[in-house]
Amino acid sequence: MLFIVVISIILYIVSFVVIYYNVNNFEKNKKVTFLIIGSIVMFILTYILCTFTSAKIDFAKKLVDITKITAILIFAPLNSIIFLAPIGNTISKLKNNELKEGKLIRRVGLITIIGMLVILLEFNYINNFQIQLLNNADF
């Protein structure tokens, strides 16, 4: 489990750097606020996703909870990179008047479509990830 926590910390550091870079036009306190609130939201969304996927798994509840925590630790920072970086970049460009209305609508639509696809893919992937963890675990 220590290995997973270390990987998660590295992923969070990478996600913070990527997001921080994409909100370069924000004031420093707003960057930090965006990072913290965005990361909390991604953690909650990933938790909900993992809860739904783990509900279908037929193993001991304690073991399923361990795989759920593992999946959350890995996928929450990845989701932050996938979702928060483009959202922050779009908000930065909008603040600088670099986006026209038509381009803004296309970008928001694209982020929404990609987000839905990622969630659908992750639902299946996280479920398989948890099942593989349980099947390969040494009890």
- Name the strand (E) or helix (H) holding 55: none
Mean of per-residue pLDDT scores for the chain: 88
Domain annotation covers residue 80: yes
Phi and psi, residue 56, nearest 5°: -85, -5
pLDDT number for residue 139: 56
With contact defined as beta carbons under 8 Å apart, do 84 and 15 qualify? yes
For the chain, give me the number of helices (H) and strands (E)?
5, 0
The residue assigned the tokens 């969630």 is 119
pLDDT of residue 54 exceeding 90: no
Number of domains in the chain: 1
Domain annotation covers residue 60: yes
pLDDT of residue 103 exceeding 70: yes
Q: Which domain holds residue 80?
A: 2-134
Per-residue b or e along 110-121, where b marks 16 or more CB atoms closer than 10 Å to that residue's CB = ebeeebeeeeee
pLDDT of residue 11 exceeding 90: yes
What span, in angstroms and rounded, lies between the C-alpha atoms of 132 and 53? 13
Give the confidence band of 15 by pLDDT, cuts at 50, 70, 90.
very high
What span, in angstroms and rounded, lies between the C-alpha atoms of 121 and 117? 6
% of the chain with per-residue pLDDT over 90: 36
CA distances from 135 to 36, 63, 67, 138 (A): 35, 11, 11, 8
Domain annotation covers residue 25: yes
The residue assigned the tokens 């008047």 is 97
Domain annotation covers residue 139: no
- Greater model confidence, 138 or 55: 55
